[in-house]
Structure 1
């Protein structure tokens, strides 16, 4: 179930995340989805996802964010070990361009995650 606040498990995961790409999704003026991979981090001071890359303010995703003020991002992967153990962290929300840093920032309106306990240090099962 989606919510707007980060859980304790999500905060622990964000404090020491894996080194994987994120995918940011935006929508153009015609409603066509646009999804691209990129680097990411989390700003605990603002609770925002920070999405970087090469010359972000001049990209199509930045054009879309300026027009709509909305975006979504997913960071996902597979837990180590045998079997199929996917994990994901998804944020949908208000987006803005931080021209000073050349990044997109997303403030969560909806947060969803699953499988993070398998890839988070100190996570209790079922948290």
Structure 2
């Protein structure tokens, strides 16, 4: 039986912890998606995903989150032998936290974190036979 955190299965959490880069999609002022590569941290206890940055409060993604918190984060890769794509998509609601700092998380990081509260998880290729796969996450 797979153990779970508040949000992620053990296999999903291990996968996230083994990755360094994700793609964050936010909604721009005209409603069009904007996608940016981002570093991220996962809080295993709550399932929240934090996106620190060099100067998040000055970015378009920050302004997008302030206006409309609906986001999607994709973490993916390919295992070469045998060729196997793997991915985890987290859809959720984000908030902009200007005073939060994850000092030491990444070189040059400054205060200002985008925190994602997952609402839907879509996963494949993570070699977890007990994984519930695509599922909704109850609001906390």
What is the TM-score normalised by the length of structure 2? 0.73
Task: Say yes or no: does 1:126 pair with 2:129.
Answer: yes
Q: How many residues align?
A: 114
Distance in 1 separating the partners of 2:97 and 2:79: 32
| Closer, same or farther: CA 57–46 of 1 in aligned 2, 3 Å | farther
Aligned to 2:26: 26
Distance in 2 separating the partners of 1:85 and 1:33: 28
Aligned to 1:9: 11
* Offset, 1:43: 1.1
Q: Indicate which of 110, 114, 131 corresponds to 1:104.
A: 114
Distance in 2 separating the partners of 1:79 and 1:58: 36
- Structure 1, gaps ≥5 residues long: 118-124
Question: Secondary structure in 1 aligned to 2:62?
Answer: helix
* Offset, 1:19: 3.5
Give runs of ≥4 in structure 1 deviating > 4 Å: none
Aligned to 1:120: none
RCO higher in 1 or 2 (8 Å CA, sep ≥ 6)? 1
What is the TM-score normalised by the length of structure 1? 0.79
* Offset, 1:5: 4.0
Aligned to 1:44: 44
Aligned to 2:124: 114
Distance in 2 separating the partners of 1:12 and 1:18: 6
Which whole-Å deviations, capped at 9, do the CAs of 1:87-108 have from their partners, x for residues lacking one? 1111011100121221111001
* Offset, 1:54: 1.7
Moved more, 60-69 or 72-81: 72-81
> How well do the aligned residues superpose, as a CA RMSD in angstroms?
1.9
| Closer, same or farther: CA 11–19 of 1 in aligned 2, 3 Å | closer
The structure in which a higher percent of residues are helix is 1
Question: Secondary structure in 2 aligned to 1:116?
Answer: coil
